């Protein structure tokens, strides 16, 4: 079973990151202002030195960082490694696994996976991903842990397989839909000082692919959102492929819909070719939808236009995914809200930057090869004196895509109808068209195609924005190499650092540099003892890793990095299993804090208010974690990490 599971996961991953950006935005060299180039030659600034890949500091001896107070752990090369290894003086225990009861009346998980879809609706979903902790007002020892369940793995079913060669049984599809979405669980610190779940809490809640949600913002009620089952275009069932997250200043959770195109199909070749909202996102147009063939049991996922049905049947259903969904964890009755002003793409996250005056920006990656980095700037400002009134601020604002110039400057390009070529003659009849087709709008505006943008994280005091670019084996062939994406066949990825002009979240100009290039150490050897090729060598000072994905700052300004690479891939032979690392943004030193079981990626992290508990997610473990007995089916699991002396994590 575990072998089927591994292959299935790898198949999904290779579809996640397809390169379908057809735009030929000019190589950065053509965008450089020649005058600037001279300035750059004449006097290198510190920032400019940094952006050439670590610059001088890469050669400097790694200093002992005052921020990193733990001893790094070694890579785990054993193909049978089936547990979580954490730094000395810490412990990591399974806290919340797929199938654990969430809502009242949920049955206890059955090891043969025989729970039906009605049970799954009340149990923890699969593939735990982005996660945040929300303390109860005025309390530090009690809160709500809210997390995404991104997709599903074949061990969801008793057979341990998913057969895409015949129509899917509806009860299997429903169980898969029920295992998607979000979990809200109440947690509290017990008398022994350890965090535990509150099993009977009115806040414990599952949100799934079947939960009704309201469409808000510019697309609410728009013709592009109307379907045969929702002729008003105001309510959609469910959220899917919820990857990373964001939080608002008013204490709500933002969940982001990533690889939604892989759940739909449009079988009409003529329609598909001209329908930007399908083709530019890579919907399937033959066979089955790319992931689970739900359309064979649930007609909503067949987006082939149906002339005999109102609103073309379900042709607009894919337009209703790819958004930011706002959930109020403290109001279990409140409907989740899809906020369409954020624009539609394979959104990884929505990381908040909040200025002292209430100005806001939310940063997002679009995770596919050659896609873009975005930010959404609400028009209004957050009013701390009146926080609840602020939430509809998410319905009005400006979506921008980033252009990274070769000289270390950058520009946010407004995706606004009538600006940057987003006109009717270029295929954008209105702002609604711009938002639904945000990728095409960013193509037209001239954004820089990136190496699969994943998470963004904002430094708690400087407001510098860090972005993971996980990897891109199409760089150098599908997209030209440039300064921000400097390595052809980039298997290891990089982390960018962006400084907004004046540290203003709403600025339209920024400077940027490469914080680090992940990958092998200089002089590293491959399996046959030959030097690894130059494109696989990075600039990491400290412990090595590949494919940065999850990224977050703790309150003290430590940068935590989570990895997602295929640990069966030969090129990863020096990297072992996926891991959680910690970096000092000032010295760039990186230290490995935790290594997960074989087959998993590490994703999602959240802290208790005192910084003494850290939750992290072990997504799609490949062997038998968390039972780790060599026979129980593996389960995605949140682990709770504490320091044995009760101290702050990482310090």
Q: Which stretch binds Ca ion (CB under 5 A): 28-36, 185-193, 351-359, 562-570?
A: 562-570
Largest CA distance in the chain: 70
Q: Which stretch binds Ca ion (CB under 5 A): 33-41, 443-451, 542-550, 581-589?
A: 542-550
- Residue (315 or 551) nearer to ligand FEO, CB: 551
602's tokens: 């590490």
CA distance 224 to 404: 32
- Residue (254 or 532) nearer to ligand FEO, CB: 254
Least CB distance to ligand FEO at residue 343 (A): 17
482 near Ca ion, judged by CB under 5 A: no
Element (H, E) at 73: none
Least CB distance to ligand FEO at residue 258 (A): 5
473 near Ca ion, judged by CB under 5 A: no
Q: Which of 433, 448, 534, 524 is nearest to 491 (CA)?
A: 534
CA distance 184 to 427: 41
Q: Helix or strand or coil: residue 479?
A: strand
Pick from Ca ion, ligand FEO, none: which does 150 bind, CB < 5 to 8 A by kind? Answer: ligand FEO
SS3 content of the chain, % helix, strand, coil (to 5): 20, 30, 50
- Residue (549 or 567) nearer to Ca ion, CB: 549
Calculate the alpha carbon distances from 381 to 356, 358, 367, 474 in Å: 10, 5, 29, 40
371 near Ca ion, judged by CB under 5 A: no
Pick from Ca ion, ligand FEO, none: which does 258 bind, CB < 5 to 8 A by kind? Answer: ligand FEO
- Residue (257 or 549) nearer to Ca ion, CB: 549
454 near Ca ion, judged by CB under 5 A: yes
Element (H, E) at 636: none
Least CB distance to ligand FEO at residue 265 (A): 21
Nearest-CB residue to Ca ion?
A: 564
Q: Which residues bind ligand FEO (CB under 6 A)?
A: 150, 243, 258, 348, 367, 454
| Cβ burial, residue 359 (10 Å; 0-12/13-18/19+) | middle
Size of the site for Ca ion (CB under 5 A): 3
Q: Which of 255, 147, 144 is nearest to 202 (CA)?
A: 144
567 near Ca ion, judged by CB under 5 A: no
**Is-contact 493 468, C-beta < 8 A?**
yes
CA distance 493 to 473: 10
Least CB distance to ligand FEO at residue 117 (A): 23
Q: Tell which phi-psi region holds residue 238, choosing left (phi > 0), alpha (psi between -120 and 50) or beta.
A: left
564 near Ca ion, judged by CB under 5 A: yes
Pick from Ca ion, ligand FEO, none: which does 513 bind, CB < 5 to 8 A by kind? Answer: none
Least CB distance to Ca ion at residue 333 (A): 31
- Residue (176 or 258) nearer to ligand FEO, CB: 258
Least CB distance to ligand FEO at residue 161 (A): 23
Chain residues in the site for Ca ion (CB under 5 A):
454, 549, 564
């Amino acid at each position: 079973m575990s072998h089927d599971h591994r292959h299935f996961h790898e198949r999904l991953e290779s579809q996640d990151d397809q390169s379908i950006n057809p735009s030929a935005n000019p190589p950065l060299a053509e965008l450089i202002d020649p005058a600037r180039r001279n300035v750059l030659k004449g006097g290198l600034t510190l920032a400019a030195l940094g952006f050439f890949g670590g610059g001088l500091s890469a050669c400097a001896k790694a200093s002992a960082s005052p921020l990193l107070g733990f001893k790094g752990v070694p890579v785990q090369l054993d193909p049978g490694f089936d547990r979580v290894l954490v730094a000395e003086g810490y412990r990591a225990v399974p806290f919340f696994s797929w199938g654990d009861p969430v809502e009242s009346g949920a049955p206890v998980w059955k090891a043969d996976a025989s729970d039906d879809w009605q049970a799954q609706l009340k149990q923890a979903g699969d593939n735990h991903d982005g996660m945040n902790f929300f303390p109860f007002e005025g309390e530090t020892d009690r809160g709500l842990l809210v997390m995404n369940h991104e997709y599903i793995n074949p061990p969801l079913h008793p057979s341990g397989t998913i057969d895409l060669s015949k129509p899917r049984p509806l009860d299997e599809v429903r169980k898969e839909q029920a295992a998607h979405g979000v979990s809200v669980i109440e947690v509290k610190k017990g008398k022994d000082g350890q965090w535990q779940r509150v099993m009977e809490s009115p806040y414990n809640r599952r949100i799934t692919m079947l939960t009704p949600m309201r469409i808000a913002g510019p697309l609410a009620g728009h013709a592009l959102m109307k379907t045969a089952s929702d002729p008003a275009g105001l309510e959609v069932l469910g959220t899917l492929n919820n990857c990373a997250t964001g939080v608002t200043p008013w204490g709500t959770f933002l969940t982001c819909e990533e690889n939604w195109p892989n759940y739909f199909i449009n079988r009409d070749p003529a329609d598909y070719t001209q329908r930007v909202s399908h083709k530019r996102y890579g919907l399937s147009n033959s066979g089955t939808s790319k992931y689970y063939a739900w359309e064979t049991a649930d007609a909503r996922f067949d987006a082939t236009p149906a002339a005999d049905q109102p609103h073309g049947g379900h042709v607009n259903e894919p337009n209703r995914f790819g958004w930011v969904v706002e959930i109020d964890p403290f109001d279990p009755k409140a409907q989740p809200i899809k906020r369409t002003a954020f624009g539609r793409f394979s959104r990884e996250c929505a990381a908040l930057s909040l200025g002292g005056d209430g100005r806001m920006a939310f940063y997002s990656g679009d995770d596919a090869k050659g896609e873009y980095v975005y930010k959404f700037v609400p028009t209004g400002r957050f009013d701390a004196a009146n926080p609840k009134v602020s939430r509809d601020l998410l319905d009005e604002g400006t979506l921008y895509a980033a252009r990274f110039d070769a000289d270390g400057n950058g520009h946010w390009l407004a995706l606004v109808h009538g600006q940057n070529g987003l006109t009717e003659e270029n295929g954008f009849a209105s702002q609604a068209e711009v938002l639904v087709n945000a990728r095409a709008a960013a193509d037209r505006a001239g954004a820089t195609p990136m190496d699969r943008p994943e998470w963004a994280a904002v430094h708690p005091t400087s407001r510098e924005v860090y972005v993971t670019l996980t990897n891109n084996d199409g760089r150098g062939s599908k997209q030209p190499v440039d300064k921000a994406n400097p390595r052809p066949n980039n298997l290891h990825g990089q982390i960018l650092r962006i400084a907004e002009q004046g540290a203003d979240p709403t600025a339209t100009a920024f400077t940027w540099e490469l914080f680090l290039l992940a990958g092998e150490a200089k002089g590293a050897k491959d399996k046959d003892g030959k030097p690894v090729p130059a494109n696989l060598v990075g600039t990491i000072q400290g412990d090595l890793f590949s494919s940065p994905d999850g990224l977050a700052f703790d309150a003290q300004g430590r940068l935590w990095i989570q990895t997602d690479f295929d640990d069966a891939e030969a090129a990863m032979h020096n990297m072992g299993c996926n891991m959680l690392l910690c970096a000092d943004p000032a010295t760039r030193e990186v230290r490995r804090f935790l290594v997960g079981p074989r087959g998993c990626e590490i994703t999602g992290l959240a802290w208790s208010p005192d910084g003494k508990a850290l939750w992290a997610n072990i997504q799609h473990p490949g062997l038998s974690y968390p039972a780790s007995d060599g026979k129980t089916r593996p389960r995605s699991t949140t682990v709770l990490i504490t320091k044995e002396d009760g101290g702050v994590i990482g310090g």
